[in-house]
Amino acid sequence: MYRGALTRTIRTASRNHAASFSFTAFRPAAARLIRFNSTTTPPASDSSSKPPKTPEQLAKKAALERQDDLQRDWDAKVLTYEELLPRIQNPSPNAYLIDVREPDEVIQGMIPSAVNLPLSALPAAFHVHHKEFKTKYGFEKPRLNQELVFYCRSGMRSSTASDVAKRNGYTKCLPHTRNDMRSRRTMSTPAPHTTESPLTMEDYHLKADQTMEGLLETLEEILDNSEHTGYEVDYHSGVLTLKLGSHGTYVINKQPPNKQIWLSSPRSGPKRYDFDDSSGWIYLRDGGSLNNLLSEELSDVFSQSITIRV
């Protein structure tokens, strides 16, 4: 009797151990099966069941694709010093040379034929009306198909400005890095005497515009009465260019950030002129006037007495 009870106990324990072992061995396999099923890619839905895009959605997609195409060429050509120099010496009405530094930096020196439009103001400037743009920045708002050459101190901001302009629809944007020391030496006007102009911005534009228009009229008259051929004078967006063949090119332009008129002369180099009520536009370094300098140098070019009074 005792032997029978012992036998039954051993059999029961063996069955329980076998069941426990089978379940334990099965559990990892079941878990792997569950994980496998959970990561299985669901069957693709029938694309024909999707509703067609509305005309508005299609138009939006097309607009985004056009915008992507516009911004695709981020490795746009960077202008070298050799390529920039002709644009400085012979400004064109179809192109702008834009200094994107801040006004306090521009005061320290700038390319005479350039205009100033700070990078901080650039995005908003592209969205203002043409008349407001000219009043605020002193030159005509660029056309979308106009060549824009941007430059700054090191090239970082000029590249950013080129990208910003491109995002706003401008198609001919060229940054210049100015990492060539020759450009720093030859393209900037000398550092100014720090004198705050008493003119309001409105008065500055009034007096500067009168001077520039008077210069244009006087120079056109001189060229009309001259026997020299191939000489040209042109004025647009605050920049006056006088091309005198082998005698070089004069560039005279407005500089609203510091309320000055800047001159780049092939004979005497760059100069900045501040307005004085009694003497007109004066170069503070030597006290000479813009009228006297132009009269003297143009008299030598034309081999006759020429007087500039504007």
CB 84 within 8 A of CB 101: no
Sheet-wide strand order for 147-151: 115-116, 95-99, 147-151, 173-176
Task: Name the catalytic one among 111, 119, 122, 152.
Answer: 152
- Is 173 catalytic? The answer is no
- Helices 290-302 and 201-224 pack at an angle, to 10 degrees, of 10
Residue numbers annotated as active site: 152
